[in-house]
Chains A and B, each alone.
Chain A
Amino acid sequence: MNSAALQPAQSAHEPSKDVHAEMRGVTRVYGGDGKTGGVQALAATDLRLRRGEFYSVIGPSGCGKSTLLDVLAGLSRPTTGEVLFEGKSIDGRVPEGTGVVFQEDASFPWLTVADNIAFGLRRAGIDAAEIQRRLDYALKLMGLADFAKSYPSQLSGGMRQRVCIARTLVMQPRIILLDEPFGALDAQTRLIMGDELLKVWRETGATVVLITHALDEAAMLSDRIGIMSARPGKIIEEIKTQWPRDRDSRIAANPAFGEITARLWSVLRDESLKAIHQGNKSSAGLA
């Protein structure tokens, strides 16, 4: 099998100091008139992603993780601050070379699995032979080869999510953003999908940003993990894992896995408690 099929157009790097994407003092307020009112989803957030690294973002639910991803992808504009991708500022448009996998099922119900995966390639005017080559590779990689002619409604949730991942991968993005992509899957499938993602990451050399709320997922997959505060969210701590590049979910047996998980939880527990009690602000507490 041709493992170069999904390599990004630019040659892959080892994780390097080279900054690939960056958020500088980014805030995001929903609604309101810009000055007062509205919901502040992101507090001033700084984030530097190195080219080729696997970075996870973890945080309590509703803290602004999806907002961070939308802004980083160029799907929504920051209220203040700046987002850079490959040295250039992005404003309100998704830059070329960015791939996004959403939490919800984003497969098109009116297209077969193969047509879904090839959708972006066809629109980009890539020649048929090349499309077929990438399509075959992606179908095999995601274990969908036998379902190429099925419609999404005939597939399980996990398979549909794999269709969406494949649709993103065939575009050969240099940065892949994933918003809780395995949220709807059962625990075992999640582990397997995590391993698949690691494989893709190794083979393509792309920079990966994974949004998750699962401690173990962040701990076993990432080079670095950013922990977000309760809303308005920002990254309050970053943890390095020092895993070898060649790894999979069996790394959970490593003693360091327990340590990392414990450190994540000690920070996250406080933030999760804050997030839960945000719903009680008006009452004087439960004492």
Chain B
Amino acid sequence: MKRSLDTILLIAAGLIIWQLLHMAVPYALTSPAGTAVKAWNMLNSATFWPHAAETGKAFLYALLLAIAGGLAIGLGLGLNRTSAEVAEPILVSVYSLPKVTLYPLILLIFGLGVPAKIAFGTLHGIIPIAIFAMNAVRNLAPVHLKTVKVLRLSRTQTLLTVFIPGALPEIVSGLRIGFSLTLLGVLIGEMFASQRGLGYLIMNAIGLHDVPTIMAVIAMLGIAAVLASAFMLWLDHRLHHRAA
């Protein structure tokens, strides 16, 4: 198919650029082939998997918390026009804060360990999900809200049969961004306040100037993120297409 061909071409172009960069600065950047070999070796070593599992677990909890909290905040605020208008600039401000600087605070509250990572991941992901969910509810078609009144639906019926399905496409768009940022949050958390996880592996490798390990971990994370994102994008297109 033409579409998969385009994707392959794009990936090939990316690999060629990567290879050229590697040839320009060989010590700072491992080649694509070298990275693949290193990644394969890591996947086959027993020491790698506990780190991956640790990151995966923290990420899963953080994502669940971010989705639940983000949807509750976003839907709750979006249902009322005034509360949405009050909250929007506040949420946007919080969103744009460099949350790294809050890391000391998180550490002081949660101590070193998994809870701090989860908290940090949630902190990154919850706001974009809330913002998208809130705007999704605010942007529901006014004529649908009128229809709800004409049919004399109860609040619960309205929420379940009009608000949520109507807002779903935008909510999925928010989840896509929330997903990425939650993962970023967990990884940053691991990078400088943990003895386990993929973020720790990267940080440790940076300290040892072990470039192949850095590249291999980032490449594996990148592939996982792209696959997850492609799935959500597919879902997104389906929902938006149906609504178009």
Chain A residues in contact with chain B, CB under 8 A?
A: 70, 73-75, 93-94, 96, 98-100, 102, 104-106, 108-111, 119-120, 123-124, 151, 153, 168, 171
Contact = CB atoms under 8 A, between A and B. Distances in A.
A64 B151 CA distance: 24
Most chain B Cβ neighbours within 10 Å, of A74, A109, A119: A109
B24 interface: no
A105 B165 CA distance: 17
A102 B241 contact: no
B213 to A, nearest CB: 47
B83 interface: no
A70 B150 CA distance: 10
B242 interface: yes
B204 to A, nearest CB: 48
A153 B150 contact: no
Contacts of B149: 74-75, 93-94
Contacts of B121: none
A96 B152 contact: yes
A106 B144 contact: yes
A124 B165 CA distance: 19
Given A108-B166, A123-B151, 9 more contacts: A75-B150, A94-B150, A98-B150, A102-B147, A106-B144, A108-B165, A110-B165, A110-B243, A119-B161
Contacts of B153: 123
A130 B107 CA distance: 62
A93 B242 CA distance: 32
Nearest to A98: B150
A22 B168 CA distance: 40
Given A110-B168, A110-B243, A123-B161, A102 B143 contact: yes
B242 A109 contact: yes
Contacts of B3: none
A131 to B, nearest CB: 14
A70 B157 CA distance: 22
A120 B151 contact: yes
Contacts of A102: 143, 146-147
A101 B184 CA distance: 48
A70 B143 CA distance: 12
A210 to B, nearest CB: 16
Nearest to A92: B149
B242 A73 contact: no
Interface string B125-147: 00000000000000001011011
B243 A100 contact: no
Contact of B242 (A96, A100, A104, A153): A153
Contact of A106 (B143, B152, B241): B143
B151 A109 contact: no
A109 B244 contact: yes
B151 A119 contact: yes
Most chain B Cβ neighbours within 10 Å, of A98, A108, A171: A108
Q: Which 6 pairs between the two chains have the least Cβ-Cβ distance?
A: A109-B243, A120-B151, A110-B165, A106-B143, A104-B143, A100-B150
Contacts of A96: 152
Contact of A123 (B146, B157, B244): B157
A25 B35 CA distance: 80
A193 B214 CA distance: 68
A208 B107 CA distance: 67
A162 to B, nearest CB: 15
Given A120-B151, A171-B151, A110 B242 contact: yes
A151 B150 CA distance: 22
Contacts of B243: 109-110, 153
Contacts of A123: 151, 153, 157, 161
A123 B158 CA distance: 10
B150 A108 contact: no
Contacts of A168: 150
A269 B241 CA distance: 44
B162 interface: yes
B38 to A, nearest CB: 46
Contacts of B146: 70, 75, 100, 102, 106
B106 to A, nearest CB: 39
Contacts of B150: 73, 75, 94, 98-100, 168
Contacts of B241: 153
B244 A153 contact: yes
A104 B146 CA distance: 11
A153 B240 CA distance: 11
A86 to B, nearest CB: 15
A119 B162 CA distance: 10
A102 B143 CA distance: 7
Nearest to A164: B147
Contacts of A108: 144, 162, 165-166
A129 B162 CA distance: 24
